[in-house]
Amino acid sequence: MTTAARILLVIGLLAWAGAFAPAAIGHDQGLAIAAAQDAPVCKKCQSAGRLPCTEHEREICALEDAVLYCSVIADCPVCHGVGFIPCPDCQNAPVRAKIEEKIASIAARKVALAYIDTTMGRSIRKAESQHFVLVWEMDRLKVEKKWIESHELLHLYLKRLEALYTDYCARMQITDKEFVEKFRVFVWQLPQDHADAGLRFCRQSAKGGVKLMGQTPSYSVCGNKQNFQDDEKLHRNIVHSVTHLILSAQRPVAWIGNIKAGWLDEGLAHFFEDRYWSICDTYCFQEANTNVDFKGGKFRLAVRKMVDEGKTPPIAEVFEQNVDTLTLPMHAVSFSYVECLLNKDPAKFNDLVKKLKAKVPTRDALKQAFGFSVMDFENQWKSWVLQTYPTK
């Protein structure tokens, strides 16, 4: 019974008592009101109807609410992976039903994700959220000056992935309808695990991160100190790489990076790096340790300077490259083209993406989606850069 229903019942009883026993009403009414105030509050759970599982820290239990499945606590004999148990001191049917539902769903997801353990030959730390499956085999990391253990990192990175997805959809003005499958992200501590997983889940192997674009969008990366100096660098790499996955998985499913639209593929991935850090330093070369750097990753400054000095790469050439043939200055202007077009009109930008996926050359796709020629665009873009980008 809800609190409101209880109060209504008490009021009803009082009215009934008032009608039939006027002499006793003062005393009875006092008791009944006291009961109405006390009854709904369960001291044990503050009427939440559930308690954090005794087997884990309170803060960890709270994290479990955000995920559909977490392998770290999935086998807990007390909460069965939920992180919470029904309160033994009160009866809250909706909360109990929710817990039962999640227990069943956790059991199903455990079976559905077992292929990851089988493929790697051991049990693997992983979690699933609304749009992602994340494998997290990394040890602890320092995040903003605080050491965070692997289980909490699993939750943190899943939260970061969901935040990126939400932001991507908001910037592009699209919804879940554009996507069919969940994204899989694998982050390994050991190079050998990454080598194996790359081949097994992404059908390729390299020292740096590897992606499976389009269907079953997947990214595998070795996240240890040899490859990424700190949490921020790793996070930025994942933002960049997963942006590629999202773009390729967006309907119609296709990867534009190898059909001469490398500029938009890399440009959009850099756009999200710049959005959160004002630094773009992720390049999708297969070797992680090439230490590629273009102007300290400060693309706006670099682009402004190129425009000022009349040294921008020829736009017609940029629009002909695949991701692996873009030069560093081309990466920087590609980022800026994307930012300029996305700022102008996200709906038209999406239209452009669809046309590029259908292999329409950029020159024609730009005309069809935005209505301007390459030369028109270049002029508009240059004046926009001069008006909005910093000089230092």
Give the residues lining the site for Zn ion (CB under 5 A). 42, 44-45, 53, 55, 70, 72, 76, 78-79, 87, 89-90, 266, 269, 284
The smaller minimum CB distance to Zn ion, of residues 55 and 308, is found at 55
The smaller minimum CB distance to Zn ion, of residues 293 and 364, is found at 293
The smaller minimum CB distance to Zn ion, of residues 271 and 370, is found at 271
The smaller minimum CB distance to Zn ion, of residues 268 and 307, is found at 268
∠ CA 139-145-150, rounded to 5°: 20
The smaller minimum CB distance to Zn ion, of residues 269 and 333, is found at 269
Sequence-distant (6+) residues with CB within 8 A of 367 are: 373
CB of 284 vs Zn ion, minimal distance in Å: 3
CB of 25 vs Zn ion, minimal distance in Å: 32
Tell the residue number behind the tokens 């991507």, with chain if given.
Answer: 168
CB of 266 vs Zn ion, minimal distance in Å: 5
CB of 15 vs Zn ion, minimal distance in Å: 30
Tell me the C-alpha distance between 238 and 244, whole Å: 10
CB of 207 vs Zn ion, minimal distance in Å: 16
Tell the residue number behind the tokens 């926009």, with chain if given.
Answer: 384
CB 109 within 8 A of CB 70: no
The smaller minimum CB distance to Zn ion, of residues 79 and 302, is found at 79
Sequence-distant (6+) residues with CB within 8 A of 103 are: 80, 81, 82
CB of 193 vs Zn ion, minimal distance in Å: 20
The smaller minimum CB distance to Zn ion, of residues 255 and 370, is found at 255
Tell me the C-alpha distance between 99 and 381, whole Å: 54
Tell me the C-alpha distance between 271 and 289, whole Å: 23
CB of 37 vs Zn ion, minimal distance in Å: 16
The smaller minimum CB distance to Zn ion, of residues 127 and 303, is found at 127
The smaller minimum CB distance to Zn ion, of residues 89 and 230, is found at 89
CB 378 within 8 A of CB 313: no
Residue 292 Cα distances to 65, 322, 328, 384, angstroms: 40, 18, 9, 28
The 3-class secondary structure across 72-125, one letter per residue, is CCCCCCCCCCCCEEECCCCCCHHHHHHHHHHHHHHHHHHHHHHHHHHHHCCCCC
What tokens were used for 187?
Answer: 């982050």
Helix, strand, or coil (residue 220): strand
What are 221's strand-pairing partners? 187
The smaller minimum CB distance to Zn ion, of residues 87 and 153, is found at 87
Tell the residue number behind the tokens 């000089």, with chain if given.
Answer: 391
Length of the chain: 392
Helix, strand, or coil (residue 235): helix
Work out the angle between the directed axes of helices 374-388 and 299-308 (0-180°, nearest 10).
Answer: 110
CB of 331 vs Zn ion, minimal distance in Å: 9
Q: In Å, how far from its chain's centre is CA 346?
A: 20
CB-count burial class (<10 Å; 0-12, 13-18, 19+) for 145: exposed
**Closest listed residue to residue 281, CA positions, set 210, 343, 229, 338:** 229
CB of 387 vs Zn ion, minimal distance in Å: 28
CB of 39 vs Zn ion, minimal distance in Å: 12
